[in-house]
Chains A and B, each alone.
Chain A
Amino acid sequence: ETGVTQSPTHLIKTRGQQVTLRCSSQSGHNTVSWYQQALGQGPQFIFQYYREEENGRGNFPPRFSGLQFPNYSSELNVNALELDDSALYLCASSLGTGSSGSSGYTFGSGTRLTVV
């Protein structure tokens, strides 16, 4: 059974640029949630994708957008990057939309984004 894989592991972008982060969900999982973890902080919910549609969204501006593909993998896109977007971006897959219990989230190791 493969876990959640994210790519790339690290990247550096310039303010104003656009970035795409990728996530492959764990085998058997059909839902992907994205979280932003700033340095020294807990993860903050960005949005969740289920059946290729956004199922819920946190307090993030529209320049944060996503996609889910038929194989349940997902992309997080961020436009017009700002310095404050520098963070670890975590993808979590799950079977169903719930975050709870043993059928809840399995997190990937994240993508470290640095905006300069």
Chain B
Amino acid sequence: QQQVKQSPQSLIVQKGGISIINCAYENTAFDYFPWYQQFPGKGPALLIAIRPDVSEKKEGRFTISFNKSAKQFSLHIMDSQPGDSATYFCAASRWADYKLSFGAGTTVTVRA
């Protein structure tokens, strides 16, 4: 069964706009929530991650918002650039667990 649900499946945003991707999880034991970025022909690369002791984490133009009571977290890409065009995956696990549970992915297209 899919433990992490991700939406939307795809989105198109204009250069300089904001991209928002949402994820929801079921397992309350999860306490590590990373986001991965994948370009065509490449493997996923860790972009940013959050743990439930904070509600928001920002790294450059990328921000994770976390709502523990709702079991939801989201990725915001500010000032979206054409180079941000990629597929983004949310994931979840217990800290230091050996496996990650991934969402189905969101393909982001940034129009110049």
Contacts and interface: CB of A to CB of B under 8 A. Distances in A.
Interface in B1-57: 4, 6, 32, 34, 41-46, 49
B102 A33 contact: no
A42 B102 CA distance: 5
Interface residues of B, number: 25
Contact of A4 (B41, B43, B97, B98): B43
B103 to A, nearest CB: 5
Interface in A20-61: 33, 40-45, 48, 55-56, 58
Contacts of B91: 42
A109 B44 contact: no
Interface in A57-116: 58, 90, 92, 97-102, 104-105, 107-110
Residues of A in contact with B, size category? 20 to 34
Contacts, number: 67
Nearest to A94: B98
Given A99-B93, A100-B32, A101-B49, A45 B100 contact: yes
B104 interface: yes
A50 to B, nearest CB: 8
Contacts of B99: 33, 45, 48, 56, 58, 99
Contacts of B49: 100-101
29 contacts: A4-B43, A33-B98, A33-B99, A40-B104, A40-B105, A41-B104, A42-B102, A42-B103, A43-B102, A45-B100, A48-B98, A90-B43, A92-B43, A97-B96, A98-B98, A99-B93, A99-B96, A99-B98, A99-B99, A100-B49, A100-B93, A100-B95, A100-B97, A101-B32, A101-B49, A102-B46, A104-B34, A109-B41, A109-B43
3 shortest A-B CB distances, which residue pairs? A107-B43, A42-B102, A98-B96
Interface of B: 4, 6, 32, 34, 41-46, 49, 89, 91, 93, 95-105
